[in-house]
Amino acid sequence: MPEKENAVVVSKDKLLIDEIKINISSIANLIGSIKSHDRAYNFIKEKRPSLIFIDIRDDVETGLALAERVKRLLPNRMLFAIAGALNSKLILRSLRSGFTDYILFPFDNNEPLIDIVKAARQKGKQSRRAGEILIFSSNKGGQGVTTIALNTADHIQRLFNGRVLLVDFNMNSGDIAVFLDLQESYTPLNLIKDIERLDENLLFSSIIKHPSGFYILSAPENITDSASITVEDINKMFQVLKSFMDYIIVDLGDGFSEKTAAAFDIADNIFLILQQSVPSVKSAKKLIDLFYNVGYKEDKVKIIINRYEEKNLIGLHDIEKLISQKIYGSIANDYFPASDAVNRGELITRHHSGSRIDKDISALASRITNIKIDDNDQGRKKLLKKWLSSIYRGNKARERKA
Ligand SMILES: Nc1ncnc2c1ncn2[C@@H]1O[C@H](COP(=O)(O)OP(=O)(O)OP(=O)(O)O)[C@@H](O)[C@H]1O
Ligand SMILES: [Mg+2]
């Protein structure tokens, strides 16, 4: 039997909450009901329920605004507007705000709530938005591709809360497993072998989920094994992954071959990582020219400057001139957090949250997903820090007195 889904109701009306709970009990557990629309967003962000019922009877505008924010954060969730009357203008506005359906309360016995939810679920499955493939690559070793791909996957997962997959497709020397201290993992090669019988259950029971929430396909240990993968396999693999995942972040390593070309072709975006040095910029330029010669549109290829230093003799404008393209983002040169994370086998944000590199990668994830870094979260973190340091100062003062 499939696992039950989680549901949340945003309403002050106890009767409505009870009726929803009873009506959907065969397919979903009500994990919370929240009275205030303001608090609801954070609760939904934390719990990520699949069914969200928002009562818009008392305050239409706040209800619609909440739906819009939730839809941006969790695009594949089902949102139901609970309304008091049929109103064609309001139905249209609700659907435009991201609601899946508009339901009248008291419920209509002729159209049970459970049937409405099941129908929406079926429709949702059919129209699931295809996942985006984001390739991180360079034309030279050691530019920071793995560091950025990996930590961007983490920040996208934190912001977006959906299905985020990190693929180590650096078949010759993949090191995501080392960076994350993984013992064993399902690899692209395993996936290609299983592809004909691959369904949602098999995929999610096979791939590793990092404690931070994103999934991982790590590179095969044996290089000869990866040599057997064909261009057709690569195309099939990414097509399948698009149907199950929201974001597929690929560490493609460096260099260009028939196989990496297949991945570049299918990608929605290519993030080319380079540093502020003449050899790095020159080698990146070769790859950029090649991308334009094969006909990639300008906004498919995005340039990221890694280990950025403001005082470097080669500035961002100089690089833009050399490559004839705007720079999409820059990541600070921040040696200790980057290397300490690798040595620990952990993500940068775990022990170095708020460091320059962490902030820049977080900003990159925010730009990619178009989701703002929640000011509330930052505010809460600041308060917590202040509170902890006041306790620390208090303890120190007591120690000195004693
Ligand atoms: N922004 C940064 N600031 C400081 N050090 C960094 C930064 N980004 C990466 N590094 C360091 O640079 C080194 C190379 O990074 P990384 O392994 O991510 O690059 P790569 O392009 O994946 O290399 P490879 O060609 O070996 O796959 C690592 O030691 C990493 O810690
Ligand atoms: Mg690497």
One domain, residues 120 and 143: no
pLDDT band, very low/low/confident/very high, at 1 (cuts 50, 70, 90): very low
In sequence order, which ranges of 219-334 are alpha helices (DSSP H)? 223-227, 231-244, 258-266, 278-293, 316-323
The residue with tokens 């990190």 is 166
**Overall average pLDDT of the 261-268 stretch:** 95
**Overall average pLDDT of the 265-286 stretch:** 96
Give the chain's domain count: 2
Asked whether residue 387 is domain-assigned, the answer is: no
Asked whether residue 252 is domain-assigned, the answer is: yes
One domain, residues 113 and 136: no
Which tens digit of pLDDT belongs to each residue from 317-363? 999 999 999 999 999 999 999 999 999 999 999 999 999 999 999 99
Ligand closest to CA 273: 1
One domain, residues 269 and 146: yes
One domain, residues 299 and 157: yes
pLDDT band, very low/low/confident/very high, at 241 (cuts 50, 70, 90): very high
Asked whether residue 397 is domain-assigned, the answer is: no
**Overall average pLDDT of the 2-14 stretch:** 89
One domain, residues 205 and 325: yes
One domain, residues 45 and 10: yes
Per DSSP, the three-state class of 102 is strand
Which domain CATH number covers 16? 3.40.50.2300
Q: What is the mean pLDDT of the chain?
A: 89
Whole-number pLDDT of residue 390 = 58
Ligand closest to CA 145: 1
Judge whether residue 80 has pLDDT over 70: yes
User: Measured between alpha carbons, how far is 176 from 346 in angstroms, rounded to an integer?
Assistant: 11
Q: How far is the CA of 339 from the centre of ligand 1 (A)?
A: 8
Which tens digit of pLDDT belongs to each residue from 85-102? 999 899 989 998 999 999
One domain, residues 108 and 70: yes
Asked whether residue 71 is domain-assigned, the answer is: yes
Whole-number pLDDT of residue 128 = 63
Asked whether residue 168 is domain-assigned, the answer is: yes
**Domain interval for residue 51:** 5-126
Judge whether residue 380 has pLDDT over 70: no
Which domain CATH number covers 156? 3.40.50.300
Whole-number pLDDT of residue 156 = 94
Q: How far is the CA of 143 from the centre of ligand 1 (A)?
A: 6
Whole-number pLDDT of residue 71 = 87
Whole-number pLDDT of residue 397 = 62
Percent of the chain scored above 70 by pLDDT? 90
In sequence order, which ranges of 48-137 are alpha helices (DSSP H)? 60-73, 88-96, 113-126
One domain, residues 158 and 196: yes
Asked whether residue 322 is domain-assigned, the answer is: yes
Which residues have CB under 6 Å of ligand 1?
138, 141-147, 170, 253-254, 306-307, 331, 333-335, 338-339, 342, 357
Task: Answer for the pair 327, 302: CB distance below 8 angstroms, yes or no.
Answer: no
**Overall average pLDDT of the 123-152 stretch:** 89
Write down which residue in 98, 126, 154 finishes a domain: 126
Task: Answer for the pair 33, 11: CB distance below 8 angstroms, yes or no.
Answer: yes
Write down which residue in 106, 126, 146 finishes a domain: 126
Q: Please provide residue 251's backbone torsions phi and psi, each rounded to the nearest 5 degrees.
A: -90, 105
One domain, residues 70 and 156: no
Q: Of all atoms in ligand 1, which is nearest to the CA of residue 306?
A: 1
Which tens digit of pLDDT belongs to each residue from 139-165? 999 999 999 999 999 999 998 877 899
One domain, residues 84 and 205: no
One domain, residues 232 and 355: yes
Task: Answer for the pair 77, 105: CB distance below 8 angstroms, yes or no.
Answer: no
Whole-number pLDDT of residue 379 = 47
One domain, residues 309 and 229: yes
DSSP-derived pairing of the beta strands 215-217 and 208-209:
antiparallel
Asked whether residue 400 is domain-assigned, the answer is: no
